[in-house]
Homo-oligomer: A and B are copies of this chain.
Amino acid sequence: MRVLAFLDGTLGDPAQPYVRVDNTGVLRGDGIFETVLVVDGRPRELGPHLDRLARSAAMLDLPEPDLAAWEGAVQQVIDNWQGSSEIAVKLVYTRGSEGDPDAEPFCYALGMEIDEKVKRARSEGIAVALLERGFGPEIAERAPWLLLGAKTLSYAVNLAALREAARRGADDVVFTATDGSVLEGPTSTVVMVADRTLYTPPPTVGILPGTTQRAVFRAAEAAGWTVKVENIPASELLSADGLFLASSVRKVTRVHTVDGTRLADSTELHRELCDAYEAQYA
């Protein structure tokens, strides 16, 4: 089941082609995206997703997105969805045709089923591999042209890292910086728990500010946890009480193994965090 909606409110047939071969989204990965989770017809964190879309657009010098139109396209997907109770809605914003200075951005929202493997991982947990990202934690602010922290369509490295993880027998990846500090997953935010405190690295190290991580922190804080946004040395992951990857579609997924080493059992912690995260949408 897939539903395709455009920003003018019209629907498309997702099995038909709509993108031109000279679109810079294809030729150059030149554009941005968001993935919004919809549960039982209600989008989660839509405001923060749209805010981040606008921030990514600014980082890529793309025209400011019409957030009301994007919101309408998401609603169109929801209104026409006849699949499972959960939808992953991708918001895709490409610059347009290459070599045409008057090119209009080409934009759409695409509702897709969530992969069964992703759903299974929510309950069963995952193994991750630590992989170097090659950057120092200070480069993002000094070199904005590296687009660290923008959610661009140029995700070839993120996918290559996931294939490397599979080769190593892992399900996902945690990227590390040159100083050995934790960055993020290729499509997720890292959340570590130690002594009833939640930690996540600051966006200033060159990672995407996580919409789901923020929702988890908000819920956990309301439930009495301490939350801290600060650098995490990768060496601390193995001794943590819990390690989680947060993203729209995976929600809060428990990491049970890092580079082949089994972590302490965080099943109970995971249940607590998931309950807090879910309760805010009840």
Segment among A77-85, A136-144, A210-218 that sits at the interface with chain B:
A136-144
Chain A 123-149 residues near chain B, CB threshold 8 A: 131-136, 139, 142-147
Residue in A154, A155, A156 with the greatest tally of chain B CB atoms within 10 Å = A156
Flag if B23 contacts A19 (CB, 8 Å).
yes
User: Chain B residues with Cβ under 8 A from A180's Cβ?
Assistant: none
Q: How many residues belonging to A are interface residues under a CB distance threshold of 8 Å?
A: 61
Segment among A9-17, A41-49, A194-202 that sits at the interface with chain B:
A9-17
Bound-state CA distance A23–B92 (Å) is 12
> How many Å from the CB of A169 to the closest CB on chain B?
15
Q: Does A159 contact B (CB under 8 A)?
A: yes
Q: Does A54 contact B (CB under 8 A)?
A: no
Bound-state CA distance A156–B56 (Å) is 12
> How many Å from the CB of A167 to the closest CB on chain B?
9
Specify the chain B residue showing the minimal Cβ separation from A113. B99
User: Chain B residues with Cβ under 8 A from A19's Cβ?
Assistant: 17-21, 23, 26
Flag if A4 contacts B21 (CB, 8 Å).
yes
Residue in A2, A33, A153, A178 with the greatest tally of chain B CB atoms within 10 Å = A153
User: Chain B residues with Cβ under 8 A from A131's Cβ?
Assistant: 143, 145
Flag if A17 contacts B15 (CB, 8 Å).
no
> How many Å from the CB of A8 to the closest CB on chain B?
15
Q: Can you list 20 A-B pairs, Cβ within 8 angstroms, ordered by A?
A: A2-B22, A4-B21, A19-B21, A21-B92, A26-B31, A27-B33, A27-B90, A27-B153, A29-B29, A30-B155, A60-B156, A60-B160, A61-B163, A134-B134, A144-B164, A145-B157, A145-B160, A145-B161, A145-B164, A147-B157
Q: Which residues of A approach B to under 8 Å, CB–CB?
A: 2, 4, 12, 14-31, 33, 59-61, 90, 92, 94, 98-99, 108, 110, 112, 115, 131-136, 139, 142-147, 150, 152-161, 163-164, 178
Which 6 pairs between the two chains have the least Cβ-Cβ distance?
A29-B29, A154-B154, A19-B19, A154-B156, A29-B154, A28-B155
